[in-house]
């Protein structure tokens, strides 16, 4: 279904990378390194304190995905393709 939506120019202007990410099941952009299996474990607590940076990075990445539309990517692609053709 996503493929059919993407083919329509009007839809491309509104579909974001975040929409695509969600459509493919929201795979973790970074490995699931942060664990809370052993909440009392001091080693796990120390490691997780530093790996929380990954969660911050994930939030930033997903926010940016929400700003980028397939239409934007399509226009960039077409501009680069035209430039390459003209260079030949």
Residues 26-75 have pLDDT tens digits of: 988 876 666 778 889 998 888 888 887 888 899 999 999 999 999 999 89
Domain count, the chain: 1
Residues listed for the chain = 88
Asked, for residue 37, whether it belongs to a domain, the answer is: yes
Q: Is the pLDDT of residue 5 over 80?
A: no
Asked, for residue 88, whether it belongs to a domain, the answer is: no
Prediction pTM value: 0.68
**Residue among 1, 33, 34 nearest 19 (CA):** 1
The domain of 6 spans 2-83
Q: How many Cα atoms within 13 Å fall on the side-chain side of residue 1?
A: 5
Bridge partners (DSSP) of residue 16 are: 69
What does DSSP assign to residue 29? Answer: S
pLDDT top residue among 87 and 88: 87
Give the 3-state secondary structure of residue 69: strand
Bridge partners (DSSP) of residue 69 are: 16
């Amino acid at each position: 279904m996503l493929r059919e939506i993407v083919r329509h120019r009007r839809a491309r202007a509104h579909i974001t990378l975040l929409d695509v990410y969600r459509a493919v099941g929201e795979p973790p952009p970074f490995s699931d390194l942060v664990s809370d299996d052993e909440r009392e474990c001091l080693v796990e607590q120390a490691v997780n304190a530093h790996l929380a940076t990954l969660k911050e990075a994930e939030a930033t990445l997903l926010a940016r995905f929400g700003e980028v539309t397939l239409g934007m990517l399509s226009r960039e692609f077409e501009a680069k393709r035209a430039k390459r053709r003209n260079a030949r």
